[in-house]
C-alpha cells in the first residue's frame, strides 16, 4: 500500500493558489483513475484506488500547510506504513514553472509543509517536486505562493497535471523513469518527424554547383582551332 500526500491549504480561498498545486495533482489523479469519493479522515480528505495490484491512498491534509505532518503521521500509524511508502506532491520554488523532479529524503528547504512532515515522520519519504518558479526575492515568496496561478499559466499547468496523472501507474510501481517520461510527453512533447517536401525551386537552389552547365566563352576562331586539335 502506498500513501500519496498532496500539500495545500483547505478552503475555496486557497484553491487556485500556487501553494495548492499538490492538492491539484491529487484531484486530477483521483478523477482520471476512478478513485473512490473523497471522505474526511485523518484531519484531511482521503480517497483510495488501485493501479493494477497496488493499492494507493490519496491524502490532502486539511490542517493548513504548516501542520500537514499531523495528518500524514496519523494516516501512517493507522495503516502501519513506513516513510518509504509515502510520496508527497508539493510546490517547488527552485524549479521553473512546469518542471518536475522526483526526490527521496533530504532537507525541507524552508517549505512549511515539508518541515511539518519532517517533524512527524522524519525525512526518508519520497517527494514529487512541482516547479512554480520564484518571484525573485525572498520577501515576495509568501504573497507569491499564496496567489492564484495567472491565466497565462493555465496551459502549462493543465499539461503538467495531465502528465502526472498519465504517469501515476508507473509511479505506483516505483518506476520513476517511466513516470517522468509520461510527464515529459505532456509538458515537452517530441517534435513531429514529418516535414513538408521541399519545393522544386528550393531543390534547384540547393543543387550542386558542379552539375550546372559551363558557359562557353571561346571566340569563333578559337572554337574552329579547337575542332582540329
> What Å distances lie between residue 81 and 9, 47, 125, CA to CA?
24, 16, 11
> Which residue do the cell numbers 534547384 mark?
204
CA distances from 171 to 51, 63, 88, 180, 217 (A): 10, 26, 12, 9, 74
Distance, CA of 229 to CA of 226 (rounded, Å) = 5
Q: Would you call 19 a catalytic residue per the annotation? A: yes
CA distance 27 to 196: 41
Which of these is catalytic: 19, 90, 111, 126?
19
State the catalytic residues: 19
Amino acid at each position: 500500500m502506498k500513501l500519496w500526500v498532496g500539500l495545500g491549504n483547505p478552503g475555496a480561498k486557497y484553491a487556485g493558489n500556487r501553494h495548492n498545486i499538490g492538492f491539484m495533482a491529487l484531484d486530477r489523479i483521483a478523477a482520471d483513475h476512478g478513485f473512490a469519493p473523497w471522505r474526511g479522515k485523518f484531519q484531511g480528505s482521503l480517497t483510495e484506488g488501485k493501479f493494477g495490484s497496488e493499492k494507493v491512498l490519496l491524502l490532502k491534509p486539511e490542517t493548513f500547510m504548516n501542520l500537514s505532518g499531523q495528518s500524514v503521521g496519523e494516516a501512517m500509524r493507522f495503516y502501519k506504513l513506513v516513510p518509504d511508502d509515502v510520496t508527497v506532491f508539493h510546490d517547488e520554488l527552485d524549479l521553473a514553472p512546469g518542471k518536475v523532479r522526483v526526490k527521496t529524503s533530504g532537507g525541507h528547504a524552508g517549505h512549511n509543509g515539508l518541515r511539518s512532515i519532517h517533524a512527524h515522520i522524519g525525512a526518508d519519504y519520497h517527494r514529487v517536486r512541482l516547479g512554480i518558479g520564484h518571484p525573485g526575492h525572498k520577501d515576495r515568496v509568501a504573497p507569491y505562493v499564496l496567489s492564484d496561478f495567472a491565466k497565462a499559466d493555465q496551459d502549462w499547468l493543465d499539461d503538467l497535471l495531465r502528465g502526472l496523472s498519465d504517469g501515476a501507474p508507473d509511479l505506483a510501481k516505483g518506476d520513476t523513469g517511466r513516470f517522468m517520461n509520461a510527464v515529459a510527453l505532456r509538458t515537452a512533447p517530441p517534435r513531429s518527424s514529418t516535414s513538408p517536401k521541399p519545393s522544386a525551386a528550393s531543390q534547384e537552389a540547393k543543387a550542386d554547383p558542379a552539375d550546372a552547365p559551363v558557359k562557353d566563352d571561346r571566340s569563333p576562331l578559337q572554337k574552329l582551332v579547337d575542332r582540329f586539335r
